[in-house]
Chain A
Amino acid sequence: MTVFEYAPAPESRSIVTLRSHYGLFVDGEFTDGGGAPLKTVNPATEEVLGEVAVGTDADVDRAVRAARKAFTRVWGPMRPADRGKYLFRIARLLQERAREFAVLETLDNGKPITESRDVDVPLAAAHFFYHAGWADKLEHVGLGPAPRPLGVAGQVIPWNFPLLMLAWKVAPALAAGNTVVLKPAETTPLTALLFAEVCQQADLPPGVVNIVTGAGDTGRAVVEHADVDKVAFTGSTEVGKQIARSVAGTRKVLTLELGGKAANIVFDDAPVDQAVEGIVRGIFFNQGHVCCAGSRLLVQESVHDEVIASLQRRIGTLRVGDPLDKNTDVGAINSPEQLARIRELVGIGEAEGAHAWQPEGELPGRGYWFKPTVFTDVTPAHRIARDEVFGPVLSVLTFRTPDEAVAKANNTTYGLSAGIWSEKGSRILAVADQLRAGVVWANTFNQFDPTSPFGGYKQSGYGREGGRTGLRAYLKES
């Protein structure tokens, strides 16, 4: 049989203008930071994309003061409908410059252009559009006739969905009438800084959105600043616990969106091809750098061999490589640190006796890469069944009865998401009811929408993002 090779179909990067140096965005202007600048790198090529300013405690203080001033004098007193109009403007600007954002995101993050183009950026715009409409309807969120904003929100976001996580944080905060100091991830600051340009184009009043780049110390300064009223963090459970400890005894309101180890449960009546697509989307979407990734596949014993054979055949067709190529399914691992973490856990998985499988094929010579990996013969005690890998690594376990599936799915300290694959409606609803997870995808996986609350049970954090529930986290009863 003739096999047709794909011709390369690269997205042009000419739409993006990279700068050699990026500053902080404070009080409506780009300024230098006091720290030693860091370099941000294209993980697919190891090319340095630019130098980015690092915010010190003093820079963060400047940003918080700008945010406080804007809250008190401009954004707080503004007519709610006018606040909404600014957010609508931002949504439209994101749509207008969508391709530019998508290319820049892929360069800085390593994710496939098809994902940044079709998921990250459109959803980010949708989040602003959705929340824009809330700005003058806050009396309907369920916090009494005149809910009030909290004040200055300090927000720290991760590197896996840089622009989308910004949107999840900034849009509801602004719609509720708060102002923002946002710290993007150390390895993916560029789309946040491009977003700052969007704020300028929208004529958003200075100080309403402030973006302070840097690493962990900068984030800590944002979280611990005494004049911050609300802290929102997305990232690891370990850092989430530190933050919860640091805000204890303060007035700060906290929401945390942390790690996960989601079970993706495949029952014997599930259509195998559909389930396999869902398994692939669940764990290899965004290289598995997804807190809600379906990283534990629970397959009913009777269909295990069939599902695994089909899954391996499908994984064999995934194209791993140049993230800017529109044929690419799996892009680059975001950083050498994350690659090392993935390698370490995979090594532990093999050492503990699980069986690793990877598809054939070459990985690019430069950049940070890891092949899609499937572990079979995994037991619930294995580290790869318990620890969040945050990479393209799937652990397969089996079950015999629905009760056993639920027990195994819930046997984790996390509780962010879960998947169910079955043709039987009553079984889906019964299992969904018993799963201790904040988002349950039945016969689908990794779907997101601004109207749909997202967030975890247990040590996956607390609070929700999206929908009326998410908006309430930025308001208080008057």
Chain B
Amino acid sequence: MSERIEVRKTYKLYVGGKFPRSESGRTYAVTDGRGHFVANAAKASRKDARDAVVAARGAFAGWSAATAYNRGQVLYRVAEVMEGRAAQFAEEVAAGEGLSAARARAAVDAAVDRWVWYAGWTDKLAAVLGGTNPVAGPYFDFSVPEPSGVVAVLAPQRSSLLGLVSVLAPVLATGCTAVVVSSYQRPLPAITLSEVLATSDVPGGVANLLTGDAAEIGPWLAEHADVDGIDLTGAGTAAMELERSAAGTLKRVLRAPGEEPDWAADPGLSRMTPFLETKTVWHPIGV
């Protein structure tokens, strides 16, 4: 009996809820930890990045206005759908990061749990970060956290799934929309994650994932006038130049850590507060 020929996947970008190829027509070969060819990934261009920003901006009004309860359920749904594809993720992580099957599976489990953790944050942020302010006068005064807008995320280069989820989930939990540039050498879990997002009630455009080179696309995102914040985690040596560029439009900047952190650690609020504004509302009290 002849062995079945498997059906291989075409890895594409994820922009506006759809899976386009790069408009540039470019791809690059992705190899596993031992250097063997795995797939051709789309190599996103400047134009793809701009298209992704347009999609993210378009999705912002709806996502930021969704109730916190709704956003929480959507993020929890991502965890549910991801759990069902855990084996596929583990295979990709093991191949891409050169991990043992057990350690790859642990990374996948942690990534699923991270979605659950952030899903639970959406309707707590306002109470933890906001509140009423006892001003010295006859006014009712309260402060609430609100999402900054469109956030560009340069995902970590090494941790291709847990690291990716750890930088994307907090941005979505705040109510921001995201344009993510994946790890360059380990992009495949990002695209598989896109397939999860596309089937998890995350509205199209809320999360956009580009495979490609952060060094190439990062500068365009850093200076893009319709991007409100940028996470430089995966920027590497370009981080300082990108921060300078982001200053031109006063983007909120989450700086890159000296080296890639232990993504298994409890992140606290540190990845959400950089992309939250505080709005304070005053109204007189009187009869």
Residue positions of A touching B, CB distance < 8 A: 126, 142, 144, 237, 240-242, 244-245, 248-249, 256, 258, 428, 432, 435, 437-444, 447, 449, 451-455, 457-459, 461-462, 464, 466-467, 469, 477
**Whole-angstrom distance between the alpha carbons of A457 and B137 in the complex?**
26
**Whole-angstrom distance between the alpha carbons of A249 and B241 in the complex?**
8
Q: Which 10 A-B pairs have the closest CB atoms?
A: A249-B240, A244-B247, A248-B243, A449-B135, A245-B247, A248-B244, A452-B133, A451-B133, A442-B283, A440-B281
CB distance from B10 to the nearest CB of A (A): 39
Please tell me if the beta carbons of A451 and B134 are within 8 angstroms of each other in the complex.
Answer: yes
Number of chain B residues whose Cβ lies closer than 8 Å to a Cβ of chain A: 33
Pick the contact of B139: A242, A437, A439, A444 (CB < 8 A). A444
Q: Which of B97-148 contact A (CB under 8 A)?
A: 128-129, 133-137, 139, 141, 143, 148
Residues of B contacting A457 in the complex (Cβ-Cβ under 8 angstroms): 148, 277, 279
Please tell me if the beta carbons of A447 and B228 are within 8 angstroms of each other in the complex.
Answer: no
Q: Mark B246-267, 1 if CB is under 8 A from A, else 0.
A: 1111101000000000000000
CB distance from A278 to the nearest CB of B (A): 10
Q: A244-B247, A249-B239 are in contact. List 6 more A-B contacts (CB 8 A).
A: A142-B129, A144-B268, A249-B244, A449-B136, A452-B135, A469-B278
Residues of A contacting B148 in the complex (Cβ-Cβ under 8 angstroms): 457
Please tell me if the beta carbons of B137 and A447 are within 8 angstroms of each other in the complex.
Answer: yes
Pick the contact of B240: A242, A248, A461 (CB < 8 A). A248
CB distance from B93 to the nearest CB of A (A): 29
26 A-B contacts, Cβ less than 8 Å apart?
Answer: A126-B136, A240-B250, A241-B250, A248-B246, A248-B247, A249-B239, A249-B240, A435-B279, A439-B279, A439-B280, A439-B282, A440-B281, A440-B282, A443-B283, A449-B133, A449-B141, A452-B135, A452-B280, A458-B250, A459-B249, A461-B250, A462-B252, A466-B133, A467-B133, A469-B278, A477-B268
Pick the contact of A453: B133, B139, B246 (CB < 8 A). B133
Residue positions of B touching A, CB distance < 8 A: 128-129, 133-137, 139, 141, 143, 148, 228, 239-240, 243-244, 246-250, 252, 268-270, 277-284
Q: Tally the A-B contacts, defined by beta carbons under 8 Å.
A: 101
**Whole-angstrom distance between the alpha carbons of A245 and B141 in the complex?**
34
Please tell me if the beta carbons of B270 and A447 are within 8 angstroms of each other in the complex.
Answer: no
**Whole-angstrom distance between the alpha carbons of A437 and B278 in the complex?**
9
Name the residue on B nearest A451 (C-beta). Answer: B133
**Whole-angstrom distance between the alpha carbons of A323 and B246 in the complex?**
42
**Whole-angstrom distance between the alpha carbons of A443 and B268 in the complex?**
37
Pick the contact of B278: A241, A438, A443, A477 (CB < 8 A). A438
CB distance from B286 to the nearest CB of A (A): 9
**Whole-angstrom distance between the alpha carbons of A244 and B247 in the complex?**
5
Candidate in A444, A449, A461, A477 with the most chain B CB atoms within 10 angstroms: A449
Residues of A contacting B284 in the complex (Cβ-Cβ under 8 angstroms): 443-444
**Whole-angstrom distance between the alpha carbons of A428 and B143 in the complex?**
15
CB distance from B260 to the nearest CB of A (A): 18
**Whole-angstrom distance between the alpha carbons of A323 and B128 in the complex?**
44
Residues of A contacting B248 in the complex (Cβ-Cβ under 8 angstroms): 241, 245
Please tell me if the beta carbons of B281 and A442 are within 8 angstroms of each other in the complex.
Answer: yes
Please tell me if the beta carbons of A245 and B244 are within 8 angstroms of each other in the complex.
Answer: yes
CB distance from A105 to the nearest CB of B (A): 20
CB distance from B144 to the nearest CB of A (A): 9
CB distance from A302 to the nearest CB of B (A): 24
CB distance from A137 to the nearest CB of B (A): 15
CB distance from B201 to the nearest CB of A (A): 23
